[in-house]
């Protein structure tokens, strides 16, 4: 088990070369957590214990950090329950001004963030936490309004749409204002899926009107605490990458698919302007041989040698349908030196 050193990931996020190959993942899965932490693993309702167990898991897997947050801080209260698949048009609760005004909005200041401090005191030497959000701006608005209904709202009542986005966005900004300054936190992830395979979920004008201004504020809140900001967003974002880099000023971008743009091409196009995180396509990991997975992962690390700004990981996360051996074939490229 190698010694964690969060400075390696900070170097990546500064578009510099880390001292050694560095891993990045948004999250793993329950089966892997149990394998890494042992039979004592379970999602403890005590956040100090839960976050501490996550740190043990991430350290055992070779990471310099552990990702925490998400549903642990339950605002805005997402309308949809977690499931293997969900519809973007089910579970919505806001359809008009009356339902918007009746919605029981939660105040982030009423949430319990003490688990970050408690678990931070127990962090293995060299590790930090990376705090994500309980969903993102667009994700939460879609969950609350429904995707089709949101599109109609933007067309029929843009003022109400702006108020819904403000209710969500302002609470997420406050979330990062509370979490980012904590000493145990080394960086933050803003997790907000924006696109389909071919385009963004809303028009470019609407993304820039309703969604992006809140991400500017999110990044400002994170940077004000002296921490880097990472965007996790799926979909085809080619037409908004300049917004992500130059307007929102994210330090790192995560989530890539070969069918949209292979991570190798993304690194060649955007490397040096923003850190490229992960990117080994999940479909590839499912279908390729173990040898092919390791070879592609090593090739990606070699591609960034001497230039930096890259950390190895999957294109999105490690869901349970990824066989453990396939995941370890990828991380092997960073954790074990290649045979000479």
CATH, residue 295: 3.20.20.210
The domain of 111 spans 7-335
**Number of structural domains, the chain?**
1
Please say if the pLDDT value at position 184 is more than 70.
Answer: yes
Residue spans of beta strands (DSSP E) within 24-153: 65-69, 128-132
Asked whether residue 210 is domain-assigned, the answer is yes
pLDDT at position 198: 96
pLDDT at position 76: 53
Residue spans of beta strands (DSSP E) within the chain: 65-69, 128-132, 185-191, 229-232, 252-254, 275-277, 310-311
Residue 282 to residue 146: CA distance in whole angstroms: 27
Asked whether residue 1 is domain-assigned, the answer is no
Please say if the pLDDT value at position 120 is more than 90.
Answer: yes
pLDDT class for 91, splitting at 50, 70, 90? confident
Asked whether residue 30 is domain-assigned, the answer is yes
Asked whether residue 340 is domain-assigned, the answer is no
- Region at 21 (left for phi over 0; alpha for psi -120 to 50; beta for the rest): beta
Please say if the pLDDT value at position 83 is more than 70.
Answer: no
pLDDT at position 340: 37
Residue 84 host element (H or E): none
pLDDT in tens, 274-316: 999 999 999 999 999 999 999 999 999 999 999 999 999 999 9
Asked whether residue 2 is domain-assigned, the answer is no
Asked whether residue 328 is domain-assigned, the answer is yes
pLDDT in tens, 11-25: 999 999 999 999 999
Instruction: Tell me the pTM.
Output: 0.95
Asked whether residue 90 is domain-assigned, the answer is yes
């Amino acid at each position: 088990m190698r010694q964690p050193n969060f400075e390696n990931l900070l170097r990546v996020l500064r578009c510099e070369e880390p001292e050694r190959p560095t891993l990045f993942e948004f999250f793993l899965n329950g089966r892997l957590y149990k394998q890494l932490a042992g039979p004592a693993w379970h999602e403890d309702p005590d956040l100090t214990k839960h976050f501490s167990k996550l740190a043990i898991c991430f350290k055992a897997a070779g990471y310099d950090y552990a990702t925490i947050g998400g549903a642990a801080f339950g605002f805005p209260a997402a309308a949809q329950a977690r499931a293997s698949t969900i519809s973007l048009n089910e579970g919505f609760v806001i359809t008009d001004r009356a339902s918007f005004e009746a919605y029981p909005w939660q105040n982030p200041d009423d949430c319990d963030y003490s688990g970050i401090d408690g678990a931070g005191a127990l962090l293995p030497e060299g590790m930090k936490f990376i705090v994500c959000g309980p969903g993102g701006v667009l994700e939460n608005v879609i969950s609350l309004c429904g995707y089709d209904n949101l599109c109609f709202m933007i067309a029929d009542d843009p003022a109400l749409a702006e108020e819904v986005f403000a209710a969500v966005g302002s609470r997420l900004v406050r979330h990062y204002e509370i979490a980012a300054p904590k000493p145990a936190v080394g960086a933050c992830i803003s997790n907000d899926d924006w696109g389909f395979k071919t385009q963004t979920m809303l028009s470019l004008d609407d993304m820039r009107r309703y969604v992006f201004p809140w991400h500017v504020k999110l990044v400002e809140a994170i940077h004000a605490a002296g921490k880097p900001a990472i965007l996790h967003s799926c979909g085809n974002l080619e037409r908004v990458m300049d917004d992500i880099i130059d307007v929102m000023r994210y330090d790192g971008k995560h989530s890539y698919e070969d069918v949209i743009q292979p991570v190798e091409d993304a690194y060649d196009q955007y490397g040096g302007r923003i850190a490229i995180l992960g990117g080994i396509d999940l479909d590839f990991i499912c279908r390729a041989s173990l040898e092919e997975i390791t070879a592609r992962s090593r090739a990606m690390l070699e591609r960034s040698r001497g230039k930096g700004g890259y950390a190895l990981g999957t294109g999105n996360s490690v869901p349970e349908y990824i066989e453990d051996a396939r995941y370890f074939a990828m991380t092997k490229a960073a954790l074990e030196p290649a045979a000479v």
